Amino acid sequence: MPRHLCTTARSAAYTALLLALTVLLSLLAPMGTAQAKTRATTAATADTENCPSFPLSAFGEAAPEGNTLTLPAEGTACYTFTVEKPGMHRLVQSGGNEVRITVHDGEEQVECYDPYWGDGWCRLERTGEFTLRLANRWDPSTVTFALTPLATDEGCTAQVPTDWASPPFVARAAGPTAVQCARLDAKPGERYTDDVTTTRYGDGTSWITDETGARICPPFNEDDSDGCVLPGDGPYRVLTNVSASEGGFPAEYALKVRRTSDPVGCARVPLNTYNSAPTTVTPVTGCKTFTAPHAGPYEVYGVDSSRTKLTVYDRAGKTVCAPWNGCELPAAGDYTVRTDDATLILDRSSTAGCESAGLGLHRSTFASAGEIDCVQLPLPAGARLAALTPLSGPEPRPDLTLFDARGAYVCGSGGLSDGTCALTGTAPFRLQVSTDDADPATGPYAIALHRTDAASGCQALPAGDFTEQSASARITTGGGVFSQCLSIPADAHSAAEILQLKAAPGTMSTAQFSVLDKSGKQVCFVYSSLHTWTACDLAPGVAHTVLVTGRDTTATYSLTRRDVTATAKGCTPNPATKVGGPSSGGPTGTPGEVRCRQVTTADTKDTLHINVRDALGTANIVSFGADGTALCQSNQACAVTGSTRYQVLVTVPSRLKAAPDHRFDAVRIATATGPAEGCVRVPNVSYGYGPVTGTLDEARSTFCAVLPTAYRDRFDMEISDTTGAEETAVPSLYDASLGNGCIRFIPSGYECYVDEPYTKEVTPSTLILSLPETAPKTSYKAKAVCSVFRCGTEQFSIGTVSPETGATGGKVTVKVTGTALHEEDVVRLYANGRQIEAKTTAVSADRRTLTAVLDLTGVPTGTWSLSVITHNGVQYLRNPFTVTAARLTSTKPPVISGAAKVGAKLTAGTGSWSVAPSSYAYQWKADGTAIAGVTAATYTVPAKLLGKKITVTVTARRSGHPDGQSTSAAVTVAKGDAPKATAKPVISGKVKVGAKLTAGKGTWAPKPSSYTYRWKADGKAIAGATGATYTVPAKLLGKKVTVTVTAVLTGHTSGSATSAAVKVAKGDAPKATAKPVISGKVKVGAKLTAGKGKWTPAPTSYSYQWYANGKAIAKATGSKLTLKAAQRGKKITVKVTAHRTGHTSGASTSTATKAVAR
């Protein structure tokens, strides 16, 4: 009967049918009937009565014909097989990568997995029947399988050779599942390697085993040696499996098994000398033995078209040297390498073949492919060496390594090419010269040797500057010259300089340079280029050496060095500006040219924003502090601090195009005391900052904001131009380290981040918006959106919600307090399944107050639950909210009636209301401030409110409703009415010159608080006469005098009244208090003089009349009288009349003299 397969497809219908039949049969079966008889084959198990059997494969056999099958998606199959001898069995599967094959002993799955070698290693511990199951996990798949017993030598007859002179063992594999066996004549403890290769492209494995068939060799040796040290006591075999072959099956393969301990068949090769050809052995053998005369460092290579480092083994087959390490042989004796190629074996401590050379140019030739040359140097230990080779040129190109006299490694090509190779170890030192070039592998080469710690004979490199006339050095190559040394004098350089190498027009080959101090330590260098520069820190008072290396081809270069400290020359002065200040600018120069701007500021603790912009966006900046420290170098803005003078270099890389000119920003954004003037202080960045809008142009080139950020904040920058322009403002974000954390991603835009060490505290950062790279103006709208959960250091919290009540029918503004509040946070009321959501109208800049409006139109009165729902869905329950009855609403405001003036009574109207109030209350206010105690419907205005604006707030009350309030329009208090005279003022006193007149006040209503006076003569005011009394002067004689009294009352206009006029009469005559006295001799011819006498009040003039015996003397009216003969014998008197303006005159007569004598 033909064999058949039992396969199942796991359709839902089929599985359901099987389960139903199982349940039905279990119900029909009598008690005690074995359930196994009614068990159905399912995806998990298969009835072995329905599984066909297959034979096991012997060594060399392909899989049986029936062991190839195609399984549908999620299909399964099963087989049975019989084990005749317990032991290791190899289960090999070909194809069907998604098919899983398992072996089962009854219901128990047999472990067929080795932790080192993977699946397919089944140790079957008993004889009898086993089950093999296949399960396909995915698409339909075809699989072939075979199971081969390994613990047998049946079919294992061939003997595999193990000596190195024998060819490999060649055989054919019947199929991809076949396991082939060959006998191995070996002893325990010997070391062997095995390798299988297919004649056509393919894949195979081999392993050494004993009678068990298992892999007895570990996957790797603990000492990292290769090969297998045979364990146990044998006999040994080698098993192979060829799993794939490009030409199909049967497939030819070669099995190579070699003994590596005390190997047989190896060729003996000698040690090589320097400058000699590799050793070739005929016939070719894969094993070669050499003798090391002593322990120490050796170079061991296989040479074909190039050299390859070889693994070196001792006589026991253990690895002594691996290719990736240097070869340090532990002792004298024989060693083995495994290669078919020629060998090059050098004793690094030997000088055999080594040439001596002095400093300068050394020329030699690679005579043989793969050879290694040696140059012995005349330098002592402690010296430093540069060994330079042309940067490029015809092959072969030399590779250099330096060793000391004992063969110890000193330097490689890197240290030698940059001049920093320190000669450590034992002299003399040897330079090993080799090449990896193969086309050609032979030919001449040249090496330039310089001592760099004691350089001499080098051309001086002059000091340059940033002017167009800067000094420089000229360097040429060609004609056998490819390198040159220059010297920077000890007393002619600053602490920091830039060195610029520039190829002359027409020069197409590149060059490089390295700068070294007096000890040979490299301080700076550049890679090979046509046009480049670098910054160098130069030790004060120390000479430096510059090594320039190019090609041995005709070329010319200039090398220029320039000071970049505060003493730099040729820099354009550029004082830092304040935020919002103008930019500066200037010509950019040609690509590769370096322009310098010296930016100055007042304090070393100032922080400056530095930026360069040009129409092509190719200009870069490099900023140096006053001491020459490089502070930033980039194609974007940067921030600097720590100096008062910065040398900022503006340059365009030589490979790019340069715009004719550039704009330059140097803006002070912080000082020692904090953010600079003009920087906006942002109170909170929990969710970002902005939007902010404004305009930037060359007169106002920056915007600045200081953000209270946390140590790892991230922001997406949303920036647009409000006019629709494509070019937008460019952000920079500086954290405490002053790194610019803004990166532009295309097309999404800028992302800005803070990158500081962890801290719970605020780490402020400064956001700068600058003009676009290629536009002179932008009208910006910018917003920083926090792209992490929350930015800044504030944690989210909800505090209070107020007020807790609101009247139905209107809108209530509620305020939420807290921290890190968001515009999308929502206030909600809940009651009886109804929900009311407030509309958020504002969040304060510090995000500690949120304002929202509740619309209570149509909302029933009562108590509502109140919650704040955050923008990310977290609910915070707060105090209940009470909806009250509608507040009384004013439909027409109250009106103040009465004259709004001091002393007048004002009356408050009640206005009109939505519902008729049952009572009213009043509060009078002056300039918006309640007047204490003034709460009646009327109010008499006091003087102190003159000029103030009076309003009245009427509170309307009605039971069951909240009070309503309405305030009248304001009225301005004017002055009150003036006092009026009920009786005119009266002048008292004698109305004559010199008399004092007194003004009566008159009688007034209302009573004045004070009075003023104005005296008038004939209706005209008398200057200065403003008192209550007035003494009449002579000039008013005959005039009519009145007085006007003005009555003053605080807060009122003033009233006035004028008295009746009185006419001024002459004043009283002067009176003599002492009579006049006559002086002089009383005799004829003598002159008498009349004294005036004394008067009160003082006269203004006098007149005289002389008398003789009482009779007036004609014409004697002067104050003197000459006595004549007519007066002889008579007594003389004189009458003096005193005159005073405005007064009558007074007279007084003197006492008579004695009679006039002769």
- Give the pLDDT confidence of 217-244 residue by residue, as tens digits: 998 888 888 999 999 998 999 999 999 9
Q: How far is CA 971 from CA 895, 900, 922, 933, in A?
A: 10, 7, 16, 20
Are 30 and 135 members of one domain? yes
Average pLDDT over residues 238-252: 95
Are 90 and 236 members of one domain? no
Condensed to tens digits (0 to 9), the pLDDT of residues 765-790 reads 999 999 998 899 999 999 999 999 99
pLDDT confidence of residue 786: 96
Are 1044 and 1082 members of one domain? no
Are 162 and 256 members of one domain? yes
Are 630 and 744 members of one domain? no
The answer to whether residue 30 sits within a structural domain is: yes
19, pLDDT greater than 70: no
Are 276 and 259 members of one domain? no
Question: Coil, helix or strand for 857?
Answer: coil
Average pLDDT over residues 142-155: 94
Q: How far is CA 1001 from CA 931, 997, 1045, in A?
A: 36, 13, 6
The answer to whether residue 674 sits within a structural domain is: no
Q: How far is CA 1096 from CA 272, 756, 858, 1024, 1074, in A?
A: 155, 104, 102, 26, 10
| CA geometry: angle 472, 474, 476, nearest 5 deg | 160
Are 557 and 568 members of one domain? no
pLDDT confidence of residue 224: 81
Cα separation, 103 vs 91, whole angstroms:
9
The answer to whether residue 992 sits within a structural domain is: yes
Which residue, among 494, 400, 416, has the nearest Cα to 452 in the 3D structure? 416
CATH value at residue 54: 2.60.120.380
Range of the domain at 999: 980-1063
| CA geometry: angle 491, 497, 499, nearest 5 deg | 110
The answer to whether residue 1135 sits within a structural domain is: yes
Of 972, 990, 1016, the position where a domain reaches its end is 972
Are 183 and 229 members of one domain? yes
Are 88 and 6 members of one domain? yes
User: What is the per-residue DSSP string for 859-884?
Assistant: PPSEEEEEEEE-TTS-EEEEEEEEEE
The answer to whether residue 678 sits within a structural domain is: no
Which residue, among 951, 945, 950, 943, has the nearest Cα to 1053 in the 3D structure? 943
**Cis peptide before 1006, with omega less than 30 degrees from 0?**
yes
Number of domains in the chain: 10
Of 562, 585, 600, the position where a domain reaches its end is 562
Condensed to tens digits (0 to 9), the pLDDT of residues 624-663 reads 999 999 999 888 899 999 999 999 999 999 999 999 999 9
The answer to whether residue 218 sits within a structural domain is: yes
The residue among 674 and 418 whose pLDDT is bigger is 674
Condensed to tens digits (0 to 9), the pLDDT of residues 511-549 reads 999 999 988 899 999 999 999 999 999 999 999 999 999
User: Which run of H or E residues covers position 421?
Assistant: strand 421-422
CATH value at residue 1028: 2.60.40.2700
pLDDT confidence of residue 963: 86
**Cis peptide before 428, with omega less than 30 degrees from 0?**
yes
Look up residue 28 and give its DSSP letter. H
Condensed to tens digits (0 to 9), the pLDDT of residues 544-569 reads 999 999 999 999 999 999 999 999 99
Are 73 and 144 members of one domain? yes
Strand partners, 123: 88
**CB-based contact 1113:1106 (threshold 8 Å):** yes
Average pLDDT over residues 240-260: 95
**CB-based contact 298:406 (threshold 8 Å):** no
Q: Count the neighbouring beta carbons within 10 Å of the beta carbon of residue 863.
A: 13
Of 347, 377, 396, the position where a domain reaches its end is 347
The answer to whether residue 248 sits within a structural domain is: yes
pLDDT confidence of residue 26: 37
pLDDT confidence of residue 30: 34
- Where does residue 873 fall: left (phi above 0), alpha (psi -120 to 50 degrees), or beta otherwise? left
pLDDT band at residue 930, thresholds of 50, 70 and 90? very high
Q: Which two tokens stand for residue 818?
A: 């807290």
Q: Are strands 875-884 and 805-807 parallel, antiparallel or unpaired?
A: parallel
Are 40 and 131 members of one domain? yes
User: What is the per-residue DSSP string for 896-948?
Assistant: EES--BTTPEEEE---EESS--SEEEEEEEETTEEPTT--SSEEEPPGGGTTP
Instruction: Kindly tell me the sign of the dihedral angle through the C-alpha atoms of 634, 635, 639, 641.
Output: positive
Q: 745-777: b or e for each residue (b if 16 or more CB lie within 10 Å)?
A: eeeeebbbbbbbeeeeeebbbbbbbbbbbebbb
Backbone φ, ψ for residue 1111 (5° rounding): -110, 130
pLDDT confidence of residue 27: 35
The answer to whether residue 642 sits within a structural domain is: yes
Report the 3 state secondary structure along 71-97: ECCCCEEEEEEEECCCEEEEEEEEECC
Are 146 and 35 members of one domain? yes
**Cis peptide before 1097, with omega less than 30 degrees from 0?**
yes
35, pLDDT greater than 50: no
9, pLDDT greater than 70: no
Condensed to tens digits (0 to 9), the pLDDT of residues 875-903 reads 999 999 999 888 888 999 999 999 999 98
Q: How far is CA 864 from CA 831, 878, 881, 884, in A?
A: 5, 11, 5, 11
